[in-house]
């Protein structure tokens, strides 16, 4: 027999949640088969089998958490005795398995095993598409996904659908006597939510926990300074329109051009494409630009490797693919690692300008605002124009103001003369 251990799927991962088992006890396993989907602090990732055999036991059920290195399943050699685990776990637990449930110290906070699995769908039931957050909320509140109609793309069940189902289910008043419990200080937010019908306490998901930890660390440890620049966006928009006429049916966005321009400027100003450590200043030989993508569970930053060497159309295609994976929770660790600079664009939400927090260990991040219609002066005449604000956040430990200003000046030149981007 071989124990399958909870793997380390990211550099910041300490534990993982079993999102869904793709194999069941008794199923034959081949090398490369997807055994289980595991939710980490960054995404939901597929875990592949590394040897042939038969899935004997599942030790950690869907929705449960296990620390790195903890056994989550057992595989027996192919052709060996048929697994006895399939019929037995539901009727009588084996004595040897008694220590296994020990890592779950919070059974009272979760629904019993059977309702939790029912929320995910049984082996004979087709589970509707749903986001990881929606599945977690469904488990926590005993909501059956098969009874819901999703409002997301393709009928996907999202958080709003689960919250609507929760609201239609009257909360049991039995929890009211628990309010006078002698430990209100231990969980003030939960106590407030229990006492105030207008407040709902939603547990932080892993994405937000990790983001909160890393960004707090970034603001606390990295002395930020900010450089602002107004850019004439009219040439950029005209160039994009010309490109899209030539690239039909492929399209590029304004953000694709900004990412390409940033990568080009980084190649010309390597002192910004760096990372700070206590012993060294690391100059990165590759330009890998991360693109902030808003997802239902928070914010992810997939990375386009060697951005400076790729065409605008390649950047656009790769951005769309990575953004789709981010929203589906299918980004791999490799697709989120290795960034040397980031771009965060909130222009599509009507935000004129903002200052972004640096994504460590990078030394800078570019915040992009919306393209605005404004009067501008050309040749002594006031005429209609289009302006766009960009803000560069910089780690002062890694670079200085003059160096960052030269980079931003070159970036503005590229954006206002976009033919230079593809030259």
Catalytically active residues are 396
Per DSSP, the chain holds a count of helices (H) and strands (E) of 9, 18
Structure tokens at 364: 């800078």
Q: Is 31 helix (H, G, I), strand (E, B) or coil?
A: coil
CA 59 from centre of chain: 27
Helix axes 113-120, 132-141, angle to 10 degrees: 140
Minimal CA–CA distance to 50: which of 68, 33, 36? 33
Minimal CA–CA distance to 22: which of 32, 35, 11, 5? 35
| Neighbouring C-beta atoms of residue 234, cutoff 10 Å | 17
The phi and psi torsions of 410 (rounded to 5 degrees) equal: -65, -40
| Whole-number Å distance between alpha carbons of 224 and 290 | 19
List, in sequence order, every beta strand (DSSP E) within 40-110: 44-48, 53-58, 65-67, 71-76
Whether residue 259 has a cis bond before it, omega within 30° of 0:
no
Q: Please report where in the chains the tokens 């899209």 appear, as a residue.
A: 244
| Whole-number Å distance between alpha carbons of 211 and 233 | 32
Is the distance from CB of 20 to CB of 139 less than 8 angstroms? no
Q: Pairing mode, if any, of strands 364-378 and 341-345?
A: parallel
Q: Is 153 helix (H, G, I), strand (E, B) or coil?
A: helix
């Amino acid at each position: 027999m071989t124990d399958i251990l909870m793997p380390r799927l990211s550099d910041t991962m300490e534990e993982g949640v079993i999102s869904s088992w793709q194999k069941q006890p008794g199923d034959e396993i081949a090398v490369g088969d997807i055994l289980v989907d595991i939710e980490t602090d960054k995404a939901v990732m597929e875990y592949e089998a590394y040897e042939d055999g038969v899935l004997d036991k599942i030790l950690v059920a869907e929705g449960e958490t296990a620390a790195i290195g903890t056994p989550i399943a057992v595989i027996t050699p192919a052709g060996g005795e048929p697994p006895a685990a399939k019929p037995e776990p539901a009727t009588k637990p084996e004595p040897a398995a008694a220590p296994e449930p020990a890592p779950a110290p919070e059974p009272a906070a979760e629904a019993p095993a059977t309702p939790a699995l029912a929320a995910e769908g049984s082996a004979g039931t087709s589970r509707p598409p749903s986001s990881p957050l929606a599945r977690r909320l469904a488990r926590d509140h005993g909501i059956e996904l098969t009874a819901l109609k999703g409002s997301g793309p393709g009928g996907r069940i999202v958080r709003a659908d689960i919250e609507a189902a929760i609201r239609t289910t009257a909360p049991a008043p039995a929890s009211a006597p628990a309010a006078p419990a002698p430990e209100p200080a231990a969980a003030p937010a939960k106590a407030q939510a229990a006492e105030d019908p207008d407040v709902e306490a939603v547990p932080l998901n892993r994405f937000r926990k990790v983001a909160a930890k890393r960004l707090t660390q970034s603001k606390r440890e990295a002395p930020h300074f900010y450089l602002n620049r107004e850019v004439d966006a009219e040439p950029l928009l005209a160039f994009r329109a010309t490109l899209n006429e030539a690239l039909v049916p492929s399209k590029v966005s304004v953000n694709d051009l900004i990412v390409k321009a940033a990568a080009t400027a980084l190649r010309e100003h390597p002192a910004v494409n760096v990372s700070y450590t206590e012993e060294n200043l690391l100059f990165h030989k590759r330009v890998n630009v991360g693109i902030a993508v808003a997802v239902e569970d928070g914010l992810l930053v997939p990375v386009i490797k060697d951005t400076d060497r790729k065409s605008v159309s390649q950047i656009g295609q790769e951005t769309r693919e990575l953004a789709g994976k981010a929203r589906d929770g299918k980004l791999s660790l490799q697709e989120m690692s290795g960034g040397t600079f980031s771009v965060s664009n909130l222009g599509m939400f009507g935000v004129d300008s903002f200052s972004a927090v640096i994504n460590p260990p990078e030394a800078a991040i570019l915040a992009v605002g919306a393209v605005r219609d404004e009067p501008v002066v050309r040749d002594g005449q006031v005429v209609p124009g289009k302006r766009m604000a960009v803000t560069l956040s910089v780690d002062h430990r890694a670079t200085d103001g003059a160096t960052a200003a030269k980079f931003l000046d070159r970036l503005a030149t590229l954006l206002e003369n976009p033919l230079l981007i593809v030259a």
